[in-house]
Structure 1
Amino acid sequence: MTIAAADESVHVRAPGKINLFMRVGDAGADGYHDVATAYQAVSLYEDVRVWPDDRITVSFTGTVDTSGLPTDSSNLAIKAAKLLARTAGVPGGARLEITKHVPIAGGMGGGSADAAATLVACDALWGTALSRDDLHGLAAKLGADVPFALTGGTAIGTGRGDRLSPALATGSFHWVLAIAEHGLSTPAVYRELDALRLEHVGEPGPWTAPGGPPAVDHSVLQALRAGDAAQLAGALHNDLQVAAVRLAPELAELIDLGEQAGALAGIVSGSGPTVAFLAATSEEAIALQVALSAARIKAVHAHGPVHGARIMSV
């Protein structure tokens, strides 16, 4: 693809994600944790539009409050565009306009989706023609969740979450996402988990580290292959949930509320604070969304799995 004319734009859409399962190893010498997670991309999207420009800039709108997002070189989408430009030797820039729907600092990978969509959009805009593997390599340099936002679907992530292998999921799963008013810092949640493990050394509990390298339970893969929501509900797990709940105790009450209102199960997604409730059917998901909304909780109905970052129009 050739570089677009000055009045043309590229529009790419990338999904948010839910961590259906997450096991977290102890911190290594570098402070990072190995994880094993089952990702599912869901139909709550980020839309990135790019135009040719002399510089690389970004602006935000959307259904979430974007007023606190940085627009300087610390922004992940800016980092993605600059990394691609350096790698491909592109002399020009791009104007990025991002419409956000994924909660910010919500454990659903919204920033990672922005970065993945930016890579795909700028690759098309600049005509760099990088292979999918090349883009995946750049994505892994940007953050652990960025490669999955590129691929979408359902996948197992290991290492820091960026080493992906596809997981077969039959049919569609229906989710209601309870979106908190305030975010949680991912590093803070990991630090809290480390602190809990130190406090409870030798005591079994939800803070317990895996005995060896973290792995995704086979029950999760079985439930996904079967397309069985009830079976998947029994297999949902997140080691970070206990830490997120200690930092934001209201999350425990929210999970209880959703399950009492008909959810098969509720789980904190990633580092939180978004809670993902699994419903048996689309109709039951809508009923749950209504019940949570009546309790003054912002709730969104979504389904998964869905595609990763892809071009919507050029």
Structure 2
Amino acid sequence: MAESASTGERVRVRVPGKINLALCVGPRRPDGFHDLATVFQSVSLADELTATPAPAGVVTVEVAGADAALVGPAEDNLAVRAARLLAATYAPDAGAHLQIVKGIPVAGGMAGGSADAAAALLACDRLWGLDVGTEALLDLAARLGSDVPFTAMGGTAVGHGRGERLRPVRVDHVFHWVLVTSGTGLSTPAVFRRFDELHPPQDVADPQIPDGLLEALQAGDPVALAATLRNDLAEPALDLRPDLGATLGAGTELGALGGLLSGSGPTCAFLAADAEHARALADGFRTRGVGRDIHVVEAPGSIGFPHAGRG
């Protein structure tokens, strides 16, 4: 159990971003969300959050690292909202200062904000000596956003509902990906609105995980996995950002086994056969000047909740 915040300690947490190997979108619900069937997998690209004590009732944040300038004001920061929700629920007199070092692209469809929220929940739980337990933290995570519970859990999981109902999947194999980021973000609500415009409700079926996807993951077969990749948000995202079609096309030309948008985009994820193939793909993207940044990553990345430490 973490000690009281009055001891002056600090808690540091690293939480990875994610990609959706399948993002299957179902009908819009009365609450405005869509039923989803998705397969999340964390990647070896992480944000780091450090929490230190602050006066009672005060939660502040500062952001550094990649894309820090793109992060919105503190009042809109999901990590701040997470810390305040935890305090309001379990420790009304607690306070914290959050320092975030970004490694996950901002507004890239990789749940960077959700990862920061998950990190804030764990860090402040330990900083404030609450020890509320993983299930309670996951309940709070679901209140903050659809991707927050998975970024808290990490690894690989099937998601249903709006993505917050999770079933962990054991994957003992490492897959190699190349991520190509974009200089301009995409609004997730805007992509879903365009999905609704393109697909009348009567034409949208209940979402299902593609046949063979989980089997390919558990067999460690990247060729079979590539054949099952799916993202129903690709059509509306490409309608809003036609330039992303050129990025996906470049991946095909360079020999990626498969490619898709990460979440609602605009980051594009390309599956490689192995580590050497991933490095060659990345070199090809750089030579062509495709995208803004190129990241070679492994999946699944490290799990979120256990990776917290003091100091």
Give the TM interval when normalised to the shorter protein.
over 0.9
> Which amino acid is the alignment partner of residue 40 of structure 1?
Q
Q: 1:123 aligns with which of 122, 125, 130?
A: 125
* C-alpha spacing 1:108/1:67, structure 2 compared with 1 (3 Å): closer
The counterpart of 2:204, out of the listed 188, 209, 212, is 209
Task: List structure 1 segments (4+ residues) > 3 angstroms apart after TM superposition.
Answer: 4-7
Per-residue CA shift, 1:2-38, capped at 9, x if unaligned?
A: 1245543111000100000011012122221010000
Identify the residue that residue 69 of structure 2 maps to in structure 1.
66
Instruction: State the aligned residue count.
Output: 304
> Match for residue 96 of structure 1?
98
In the alignment, what sits opposite 1:22?
23
What percentage of residue pairs aligned between the two structures are identical? 45
The corresponding residue for 1:242 is 235
Task: Give the match for residue 76 of structure 1.
Answer: 78
C-alpha separation in 2, matches of 1:273 and 1:125: 35
* 1:253-303 CA-partner distances (Å, limit 9, x unpaired): 111101211210110011000000000000110111111112223210010
Pick the aligned partner of 1:134 from 122, 131, 136.
Answer: 136
Q: Which amino acid aligns with 2:74?
A: T
Determine the structure 1 residue equivalent to 2:44: 43
CA contact (8 A) 1:151 1:307 kept: no
Whole-Å separation in 2 of the counterparts to 1:162 and 1:250: 31
State how far apart, in whole Å, the 2-side matches of 1:68 and 1:286 are: 29
Question: 1:214-229 residue pairs with structure 2 within 5 A?
Answer: 214-229=207-222
For 1:16 and 1:99, how far apart are their aligned partners in 2? 13
Give the residue type in structure 2 aligned to 1:138: L
1:306 and 2:309 matched: no
Relative to structure 1, is the Cα distance of residues 174 and 116 closer, same or farther in structure 2, using a 3 angstrom cutoff?
same
| Counterparts of 1:65 and 1:251, CA distance in 2 | 23
Which residue of 1 is the match for residue 146 of structure 2? 144
8 Å Cα contact 1:49/1:97 also seen in 2: yes
2:45 is paired with a residue of what secondary structure? Answer: strand
Residue 180 of structure 2 aligns with which residue? Answer: 178
Residue 283 of structure 2 corresponds to 290
SS of residue paired to 1:14 = strand
Q: Deviations over 1:63-82 (max 9, x none)?
A: 1243442212x211111000
Please give the alpha-carbon distance, in whole angstroms, between the structure 2 residues aligned to 1:233 and 1:313: 40
Deviation at 1:104, TM superposition (A): 1.2
What residue ranges of structure 1 are gaps of 5+ in the alignment?
Answer: 203-207
TM-score (ref. length: structure 1): 0.93
Q: Show the counterpart of 1:205.
A: none
Q: CA separation in 1, counterparts of 2:36 and 2:71?
A: 29
Partner of 1:233: 226
Q: How far off is 1:227 after superposition?
A: 0.7
Three-state SS of the structure 1 residue aligned to 2:23 is strand
C-alpha contact 2:35 2:207 (8 A) present in aligned 1: yes
Deviation at 1:89? 2.2
- Aligned-residue CA RMSD (Å): 1.5
- Within 2, Cα distance between the matches of 1:133 and 1:28? 26
The aligned counterpart of 1:56 is: 59
Q: Secondary structure at the match of 1:119?
A: helix
Contact 2:9 2:310 in 1 (8 A): no
Distance 1:36 1:135 in 2: 23
Q: Is the CA contact 1:90–1:126 (under 8 Å) kept in the aligned structure 2? A: no
